[in-house]
């Protein structure tokens, strides 16, 4: 009975975490270049029960479930829809590549091409991190620029750099840095050069699927409620065991 | 359950800010020379979303013919300069000028252009394409009253909006000083106004998306509240 309590609690934990991750996806439904978290849940390892005692009679009794847990969250790298904005500072990658930006603690990767130009003329993200080209940060200076589909940035007729595009699909795991940035979980992983066509005046929207995510959230809430009832049920069974079975007049 | 609520709250706040911005853009659909802004949202590391930065559109609005003698549009990327009552400069692309009681050429809000141009009463006045304002005497003699100067910025999208179509230079940023350009043959188009650059369809699409996302995040807060209430009820037994 106590075991049933813990099994129900494992489901409460899993469904709570699931709700948190789904709420994070939904809060970022309007964040350009956002990559949603994918959720997978699995049964915890089952235990085998064996009857002990007489060494000649050690027999299996059967399996024993120990509940459930969320698997480590994966990040869905599928592209979001590309939307035309006509703004020269909006860039998007049509293909698998990620833009590379310079953070104080090393490079980070994003699909959010809502760029700005800082006071020194460097191309930056909304958070102010500089966008890296193949030869370091890209300086567009004070003039209008155009971007060729291979990522080369032209100011007038002169090429000032070529956007670095990284392929994260081979990374063993990705972590969220914030500011729409991702980074491989293993710092030693060097993402290879990625293909992809860079488009100017286009932005990539969030890849969160609204209907599916809302449905998942509703299911998670109901599963949470059901697990709550299970806790109560286990509790009242225990109560009965203590109050009624344990009483003798 | 509480992290879900704070995450959903961050979403509701971010989409509220987006809605406010879209409403402001749409309200200025017919404001001459208005440039819409766009709020860039960013994922928050601790969960949820935050408004990261705001960017002014770099696209100018279309020019429309009005025929009014003091309506002026700038075909290039420059700005007119006006002097604020506190003595500071502000910049605008809105060119529906008029003559005030003292004869100065002023903006629709009554701010004098800088350099100042005085229009003599009861005289025919003409604004040449290079910005030179000339008047004609009774005998047809031509007299130059001044020149409308056009100021250009390296990064106009970084200008700080003051409202009323006015902008100021951001403090402490280099490369953002307004520079009076050399006289250009096609600096000013008279009898035309730059219309609002708001893209109606695009803003409506954003409005609907932001509204849906806002309601969605609010619903999550409400549902979580209900779940929390039920949990408390259950625990009471």
Residue range A62-74, pLDDT digits in tens = 888 888 888 878 8
Give the mean model confidence (pLDDT) for residues A182-190: 91
* Interface test with chain B among A27, A208, A240, by most B beta carbons within 10 Å: A27
Q: Which residues of B touch A34 (CB under 8 A)?
A: 43
In this prediction, residue A31 carries a pLDDT of: 95
Nearest to A183 by CA among B7, B48, B50, B43: B43
Q: Which residues of B touch A30 (CB under 8 A)?
A: 14-15, 18, 41, 49, 209-210, 213
In this prediction, residue B175 carries a pLDDT of: 45
Q: Measure the CA–CA gap between A172 and A157, rounded to whole angstroms.
A: 41
Q: Is the ipTM of this complex over 0.90?
A: no
Asked if residue B22 has a cis previous peptide bond (ω within 30° of 0), the answer is: no
Q: Which residues of A touch B44 (CB under 8 A)?
A: 178
Residue tagged 């002990």 (tokens) = A52
- C-beta atoms of B1 and A19 within 8 A: yes
Size of interface A-B (CB pairs under 8 A): 133
- C-beta atoms of A228 and B234 within 8 A: yes
- Determine the distance in angstroms separating the CA of B43 from the nearest CA of chain A, rounded to an integer: 5
pTM (2 decimals)? 0.84
Q: Is B19 in CB contact (< 8 Å) with chain A?
A: no
Give the mean model confidence (pLDDT) for residues A118-129: 90
Give the mean model confidence (pLDDT) for residues A81-101: 93
Nearest to B193 by CA among B26, B66, B31, B35: B66
Higher pLDDT, B235 or A27: A27
Q: Is B59 in CB contact (< 8 Å) with chain A?
A: yes
Mean pLDDT value across chain A: 90
Q: Are A111 and B81 in contact (CB under 8 A)?
A: no
Q: Which residues of B touch A217 (CB under 8 A)?
A: 220
In this prediction, residue B16 carries a pLDDT of: 96
Tens of each residue's pLDDT in chain B, 237 residues: 578 999 999 999 999 999 999 999 999 999 999 989 999 999 998 889 999 988 888 888 999 999 888 899 998 888 899 999 998 889 999 999 999 888 899 999 899 998 888 888 877 888 888 888 888 887 878 888 888 888 887 777 778 888 888 988 877 654 445 555 566 677 889 999 999 999 999 999 999 999 999 999 999 999 999 988 888 887 775
Q: What are the structure tokens assigned to A224, written together?
A: 């949470």
Q: Measure the CA–CA gap between A114 and A30, rounded to whole angstroms.
A: 13
Q: Which residues of B touch A225 (CB under 8 A)?
A: 227, 230
* Interface test with chain A among B7, B12, B43, B203, by most A beta carbons within 10 Å: B43
Nearest to A113 by CA among A104, A27, A97: A97
């Amino acid at each position: 009975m106590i075991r049933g309590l813990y099994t129900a609690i494992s489901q409460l934990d899993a469904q709570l975490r699931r709700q948190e991750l789904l709420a994070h996806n939904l809060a970022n439904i309007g964040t350009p270049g956002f990559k949603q978290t994918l959720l997978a849940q699995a049964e915890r390892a089952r235990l085998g029960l064996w009857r002990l005692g007489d060494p000649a009679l050690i027999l299996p009794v059967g399996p024993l479930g120990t509940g459930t847990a969320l698997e480590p969250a994966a990040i869905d790298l599928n592209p979001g829809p590309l939307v035309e904005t006509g703004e020269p500072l909006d860039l998007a990658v049509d293909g698998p590549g990620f833009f590379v930006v310079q953070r104080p603690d090393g490079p980070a990767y994003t699909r959010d091409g809502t760029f700005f130009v800082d006071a020194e003329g460097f191309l930056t993200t909304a958070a102010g991190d500089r966008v890296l080209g193949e030869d370091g940060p890209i300086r567009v200076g004070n003039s209008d620029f155009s971007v060729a589909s291979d990522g080369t940035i032209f100011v007038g007729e002169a090429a000032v750099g070529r956007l670095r595009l990284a392929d994260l699909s081979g990374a063993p795991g990705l972590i969220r840095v914030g500011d729409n940035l991702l980074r491989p979980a293993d710092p030693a992983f060097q993402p290879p050069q990625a293909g992809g066509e860079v488009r100017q005046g286009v932005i990539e929207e969030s890849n969160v699927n609204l209907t599916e995510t809302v449905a998942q959230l509703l299911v998670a809430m109901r599963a949470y409620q059901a697990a709550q009832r299970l806790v109560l049920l286990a509790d009242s069974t225990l109560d009965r065991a203590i109050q009624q079975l344990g009483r003798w007049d | 359950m509480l992290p879900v609520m704070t995450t959903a709250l961050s979403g509701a706040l971010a989409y509220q800010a987006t809605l406010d911005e879209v409403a402001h853009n749409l309200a200025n659909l017919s404001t001459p020379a208005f440039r819409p802004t766009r709020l860039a949202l960013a994922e928050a590391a601790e969960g949820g979303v935050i408004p990261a930065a705001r960017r002014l559109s770099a696209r100018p609005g279309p020019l429309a013919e009005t025929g009014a003698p003091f309506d002026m549009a700038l075909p290039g990327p420059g700005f007119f300069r006006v002097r604020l009552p506190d003595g500071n400069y502000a910049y605008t692309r809105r060119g529906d000028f008029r003559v005030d009681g003292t004869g100065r050429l002023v903006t629709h809000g009554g701010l004098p252009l800088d350099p100042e141009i005085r229009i003599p009463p009861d005289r025919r006045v003409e604004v040449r394409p290079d910005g030179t304002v000339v008047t004609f005497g009774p005998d047809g003699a031509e007299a130059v009253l001044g020149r409308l100067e056009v100021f250009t910025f390296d990064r106009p999208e970084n200008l700080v909006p003051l409202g009323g179509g006015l902008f100021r230079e951001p403090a402490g940023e280099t490369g953002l000083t307004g520079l009076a350009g050399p006289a250009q043959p096609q600096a000013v188009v008279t009898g035309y106004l730059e219309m609002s650059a708001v893209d109606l369809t695009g803003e409506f699409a954003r409005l609907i998306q932001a509204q849906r996302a806002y309601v969605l995040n609010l619903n999550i807060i409400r549902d979580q509240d209900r779940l929390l209430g039920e949990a408390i009820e259950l625990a009471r037994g």
